[in-house]
Structure formats: structure tokens, C-alpha cells
Amino acid sequence: MNKKPTIIAGPCVIESMDILREVAEELVRLNKSLNLDIIFKASFDKANRTSIHSFRGPGMKKGLEMLADIKSEYGLKILTDIHESCQAQPVGEVADVLQIPAFLCRQTDLLVAAAKTGKTVNIKKAQFLSGDDMQYPVQKVRESGNDKVWLTERGNIYGYNNLAVDFRNIADMKKYTDTVIMDCTHSVQRPGAAGGKTGGNREFVPSMALAAKAFGANGYFFEIHPDPEKALSDGPNMLYLKDFEGVVKSLIN
């Protein structure tokens, strides 16, 4: 019997408890109906927004309280980003997986601090690195005493305001860790291409997921939202919550 893939899903940023609960309820339903263990994802702070005027989230203290409530109420595992080494320890008290943003994947102090929490560390591949380059961030985590490390593909810079995915990176990264995840929604971004914010093409998300599966990915990352057109971050590349089940079924059937 094939092992079920690792699936991570949730809104880009924490906007409200109502949205967190609506997404969590759907993930619980899918976990039960499809025999999965989908990990709930939301960021308490989007520290790398294009504009200083962009919505960032509720901040670490309030955000962690909200994520802890979701974990307690719904029994879901939690993944969230950290941007500074001082955030690792308090975030590790709530989250099951600490995610290192792509732009920060070479930040040694951040990787070491995440590793020392003992939690799984998901490192997103930078837009300017190859799959083979990611052996060094993995090494930093492992040599800090933590073998629980995942890698995530999210595309490479392709000229201005565009990304391209070289799916060979998935095979390359599998040389360094057992779990390689495809970030199916960030890979269709158009960075900074929407007048001071990021654009995207969500219609390509299902194809990104299936292509990654063909190349050996065993995990998938999706940002999902009840109404992406009204989302406060990454709306153009997020999936509608109502469409998520069909995409997941295409990956596990």
C-alpha cells in the first residue's frame, strides 16, 4: 500500500478566527473522508510583503494564540513560518512544523534555532537556488541535532515578475531528504506584478501538483481560502476552498 502524501493547506495569513475555523472544518472533513492527515497552515506575520502598506497579520503573540485554538478545537497539526531566530522557541511550543521562508533558507541562525526546537523544519527552496544547493540548509539543520527536515520546491526567478518550475529540482532534493514537497500555489505567483502586490495564476495549480507527482514529490503545499478574491494576501494564486477536495483526490487516486 502506498504511503499517503504529506499535504499542507490553509490560508496565506491569519485574517480572522472565522476564516481559520471554516478552513479547519473542511480539513477535518477531508482527513476523515480520505484517510489523510492534512497539516493546517497559516502565517501570523507576512514579513516579506511587497509593500509596507500590505496586510501582515495579527503578529506572533495573537497569531500563536489563534493557531493554538485551532489545534485544540480541531486536533489538526500546525505549520507556520518564522522569520527571525528569536521566534523559533515560542512558535515551536504551538506548531508541529516550523517553516523557513524561501528568501531566508540560507540564514544559518534561523535554521539552527528552528532545529533546536526539535520540531520538523520545512525549508522552502529559494527562488535563486537549485535543488542541489539545498543540501547545505539541510546540513545546517542536521548538524544542529535535528533529522526532521523537509524541503519544498516553489519555483525559480524567471526574468522580472515571473517564476518557472524546473521539476528536476524535486529529484535532486530527494537525495538529501525523504520528504520533498511541491508548493503548488506559490509556484504560480507573479511576484510584484500586481501594482505593489503579488499576482498569480491559480488555474495552473492542479497541473503543478500533478506534474510534481510525476517527478516524485511526496508532499504538496496549497494555500486555500473561502473567497480568494477578498483575501488579504496572495489571493490570485490561492485555491478556492470549495475546489480543494478535487485537487487532493487527483493526487491520492
Q: What is the pTM of this model?
A: 0.93
Burial degree of 74 (CB within 10 A; 0-12, 13-18, 19+): middle
Q: Measuring CA to CA, how many Å separate 77 from each of 16, 104, 126, 168?
A: 19, 23, 25, 29
Residue 1: predicted pLDDT:
44
* Distance, CA of 157 to CA of 154 (rounded, Å): 10
Q: Tens digits of per-residue pLDDT, 11-38?
A: 999 999 999 999 999 999 999 999 999 9
List per-block mean pLDDT (blocks of 10 residues) for the chain, which spans 253 residues: 86 97 98 97 88 88 98 98 98 98 97 98 97 98 98 91 93 98 91 60 93 97 96 90 97 89
Q: What pLDDT is stored for residue 190 in this prediction? A: 79
Q: Write down the pLDDT at residue 196.
A: 53
Q: pLDDT at position 198, please?
A: 64
Q: What is the pLDDT of residue 160?
A: 84
**Cα dihedral sign for 97, 53, 182, 174?**
negative
3-state secondary structure the chain: CCCCCEEEEECCECCCHHHHHHHHHHHHHHHHHHCCCCEEECECCCCCCCCCCCCCCCCHHHHHHHHHHHHHHHCCCEEEECCCHHHHHHHHCCCCEEEECHHHCCCHHHHHHHHHCCCEEEEECCCCCCCHHHHHHHHHHHCCCCCCEEEEECCEECCCCCEECCCHHHHHHCCCCCCEEEECCHHHEECCCCCCCCEECHHHHHHHHHHHHHCCCCEEEEEEECCHHHCCCCHHHCEEHHHHHHHHHHHHC
CA dihedral 230, 234, 238, 242 (to 10 degrees): -30
